[in-house]
Amino acid sequence: MTARVRIATRRSRLALWQAAHVAERLRAAHPGLAVELAPMTTRGDELLGASLAAVGGKGLFVKELEAALAEGRAEIAVHSMKDVPWALPAGFALAAITAREDPRDAFVSVHWRRPDELPAGARVGTSSLRRASQLLARRPDLVVQPLRGNVETRLAKLDRGECAALVLAAAGLRRLGLAGRIRALLEPEQSLPAPGQGALAIECLEARTDLRALVAPLADPEAEACVRAERAVSRCLAAGCTVPLAAYAELHGAGLRLRALVASPDGARIARAEALGPAHAPEALGAQVAELLNEQGARAILAALAP
């Protein structure tokens, strides 16, 4: 059995919280196991002056961590599941998907209680094309302001009056003890979450079966089934972060209910689909919903977004 585990993580306070949470659970599952954090800065953290879509996508948050695994500087990496591309590099594996925190988006503002209270022309900060497109679909009179940086940086910009509101992941705010900043939780009907939102991913080298066994107690079967269905939608559509795509699965009786959408960045065109399927075949459900999205016009939206 592995005697020491080093966890590769980004340096942001949220990423460090997530890695420390996994470390604590590993120590509880394996008394005597030495667990250390190996913080590092990723390209996604450095390139704050451009949108993620323009500089290479959310994969920029994980590449340096994967390099640390390949070079033996860490044994596992902890990511926000929504930041992990649907296609992993050869030789890497998702060893566990943890229990999900609240997957919803959160509306944060100093003066306004919910999005429909915002005055026409109000600026709303978000780094997510998915959030922006759904917001603009309901409120085309608003101005979306691309906003990068960690949670605290974005909140500081809001407090300085650089925008009227933010849309952030509720999970991140809760994990940082900032749930009090949430003015409204946006239900999936208002803002369908990103694939994997609210869950944590533990990644390791595919060949390290010992590490996969080590982290297995941290895996949550319900979250894994839901996330696998959601990520299958992205995979079947070959959709990266340049595409406003949402997918959210939840238990429905003995099976899963999966809802998904693909939108144009301005929210003027949205293809929506949903289906029910068995929890033991989440990828098949994701493929079914992806095909339904294409029937509703997703293929045309994706073609218009192609470079």
- At residue 201, the 3 state secondary structure works out as strand
Contact 38, 10 (CB under 8 A): no
How would you class 19 by CB atoms within 10 Å of its CB: exposed for 0-12, middle for 13-18, buried for 19 or more? buried
Number of DSSP helices (H) and strands (E) in the chain, helices first: 11, 13
- For residues 231 and 23, give the distance between their C-alpha atoms in angstroms, rounded to a whole number: 25
- Which tokens hold the place of 137? 């679909």
Residue 202 to residue 93: CA distance in whole angstroms: 9
How deeply is 24 buried, as exposed, middle or buried, from its count of CB atoms within 10 A (0-12, 13-18, 19+)?
A: exposed
Decide if 256 contacts 288 (C-beta within 8 A).
no
Q: Tokens 């070079």 — which residue? A: 71
Please report, for residues 93, 116, 138, 243, 277, the alpha-carbon distance to residue 239 in angstroms, rounded to integers and kept in the order given. 20, 30, 23, 6, 22
User: Which residue is catalytic, options 83, 102, 210, 220?
Assistant: 83
Active site residue 83: yes
The tally of CA atoms less than 13 A away on the side-chain side of residue 140 is 7
How far is residue 41 from each of residues 21, 55, 150, 168, 199, measured CA to CA in Å? 19, 16, 12, 22, 21
- The pair of structure tokens assigned to 63 is 């590449």
Q: Report the interhelical angle of 282-295 vs 298-305 (nearest 10°).
A: 80
Q: What residues are annotated to the active site?
A: 83
